Amino acid sequence: MLSVSFLRAAFTVLFIAILTILGGVLGLASRLVDSSGDLVLDLARAWSRWVTSFAGVKIVVENRATLVPDQPYVFMANHASSLDIWAVFVAIPRRIRLIAKKQLGRIPLFGWVMRAGRFIFIDRQNGVAARRSIDEAGKRIHDGASVLLFPEGTRTRDGTLGSFKKGGFHLAIKAGVPIVPVALRGTRELMPAGSLLLRSGTMTVIIGEPIATQGLSDEDRTNLNERVRGVVETMLKS
């Protein structure tokens, strides 16, 4: 006999699918009245709240950051689960655009809505294309947009924090904007990589103090990488 928890999780998957389709249609329609993509971001936040609330996921936010209004930031978070995307939309108190792998942009409806929200897609297998994507992200930042990326590049399989790729640090240094480290705790337990089932429970999002990049050069990138990764690792253990 199927357990109550499994049935709830399966019903949650169905609810997410229906909500995603409805939200996707609304997101695409929003382009008729808003070419900036900001309405898509507002819908993404509402979608994330509905999904996590329905699934019984409680998101505890520890905001240790003092964020300046209208200041763009590059948010960098660890990546352990598909739940991470919903979590950051709920927890980060401003509109953010994801820098995502190009494969997500190919998903029917979901990818179309991401493009409508002016998210940035990156091809990590093509160095030239990846640099173009980073340059495009820099233009969005100069226009006042904050972006978020998962610098590990992929979800962890064993729960350990992976190495951080260099692209995001090149972006932050070139744009001269602060990096905000973000630690996501508990998402892997609620929705492991490769699983479609979202379990109920509590997770934590810790938003760290911004780390300045103004005046740094690409020669400082390695030290900056180690510093940001160290902060995220510390917050994960705290």
Cβ atoms 97, 118 nearer than 8 A: yes
Give pLDDT, residue 189: 93
Mean pLDDT of 136-154: 90
Query: What is the pLDDT, as a whole number, of residue 32?
Result: 87
Q: For residues 72 and 101, give the distance between their C-alpha atoms in angstroms, rounded to a whole number.
A: 22
**What is the DSSP secondary-structure string of 189-215?**
HHS-TT------EEEEEEEPPPB--TT
Cβ count within 10 A of residue 94: 15
How many whole angstroms separate alpha carbon 14 and alpha carbon 22?
A: 13
Selected residue with higher pLDDT from 1 and 39:
39
Per-residue model confidence (pLDDT) at position 157: 85
Provide the 8-state DSSP code for 1: -
Q: What is the pLDDT of residue 4?
A: 62
Residues 197-216 pLDDT 10s: 788 899 999 999 999 999 99
Amino acid letter, 218: D
**What pLDDT score was predicted for residue 171?**
92
Annotate 4-51 with DSSP letters as a single string.
HHHHHHHHHHHHHHHHHHHHHHHHHHHTTT-TTSHHHHHHHHHHHHHH
For the domain made up of 4-237, the CATH class stated in words is alpha beta
Please give the pLDDT value at position 11.
Answer: 79
Write down the domain spans for the chain: 4-237
Mean pLDDT of the chain: 89
